[in-house]
């Protein structure tokens, strides 16, 4: 894992750089796995490499499209799965999940682009959150799942 090269600058630049880096790292941890390896259950939960990508897609849609963009579920670029994305269907492929994740990432960037870091939205359970908080939360969320995915990949390749 190579850290991002953009390490100085304005707060927003750094937040966006770190989030994009975390996004790329998650995709890289799954890219190249076979369909069967991407679905291997190595822990009791539904956490698999492909499920982590699907869940991260859900998270981006929820935070950037629903909360920040205030879009209706039907206006999001894909489903907001009741199971948070951890349930992967046999028909869903690694390539399709990566494409959905990248589409949700692009939409997140587009929605956030015109919004100041201080601007707030109301989350139904957490209350008032700012864009700055959403960026920090998503960086932490993806970093956690990158760690999960790195460990799963290491187990798969062992």
**Tell me, what CATH number does 115's domain have?**
1.20.120.450
Using 50, 70 and 90 to split pLDDT, how confident is the model at 3?
low
Using 50, 70 and 90 to split pLDDT, how confident is the model at 1?
low
* Residue 151 lies in domain: 11-157
CB atoms near residue 22 (< 10 Å): 20
Residue 21, SS3?
Answer: helix
| pLDDT at residue 58, as a whole number | 97
Q: What is the pLDDT of residues 99-110, one digit of tens each?
A: 999 999 999 999
32 located within any domain: yes
Residues 139, 39: Cα–Cα separation, whole Å: 24
pTM for the full predicted model = 0.93
3 located within any domain: no
β-partners of residue 122 are 128
Q: What is the pLDDT of residues 56-105, one digit of tens each?
A: 999 999 999 999 999 999 999 988 888 888 999 999 999 999 999 999 99
Number of domains in the chain: 1
Q: What is the pLDDT of residues 123-152, one digit of tens each?
A: 999 999 999 999 999 999 999 999 999 999
């Amino acid at each position: 894992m190579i850290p991002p090269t953009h390490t100085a600058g304005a707060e927003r630049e750094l937040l966006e750089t770190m989030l994009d880096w975390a996004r790329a790292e998650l995709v890289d941890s799954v890219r190249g796995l076979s369909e069967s390896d991407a679905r291997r259950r190595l822990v009791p939960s539904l956490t698999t490499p492909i499920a982590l990508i699907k869940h991260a897609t859900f998270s981006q849609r929820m935070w950037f499209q629903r909360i920040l963009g205030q879009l209706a579920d039907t206006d999001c670029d894909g489903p907001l799965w009741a199971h948070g994305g951890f349930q992967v269907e046999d028909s869903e492929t690694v390539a399709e999940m990566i494409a959905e994740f990248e589409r949700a990432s692009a939409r997140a960037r587009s929605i956030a682009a015109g919004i100041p870091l201080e601007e707030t939205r109301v989350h139904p359970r957490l209350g008032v959150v700012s864009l700055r908080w959403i960026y920090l939360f998503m960086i932490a969320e993806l970093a956690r799942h990158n760690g999960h995915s790195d460990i799963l990949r290491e187990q798969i390749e062992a």
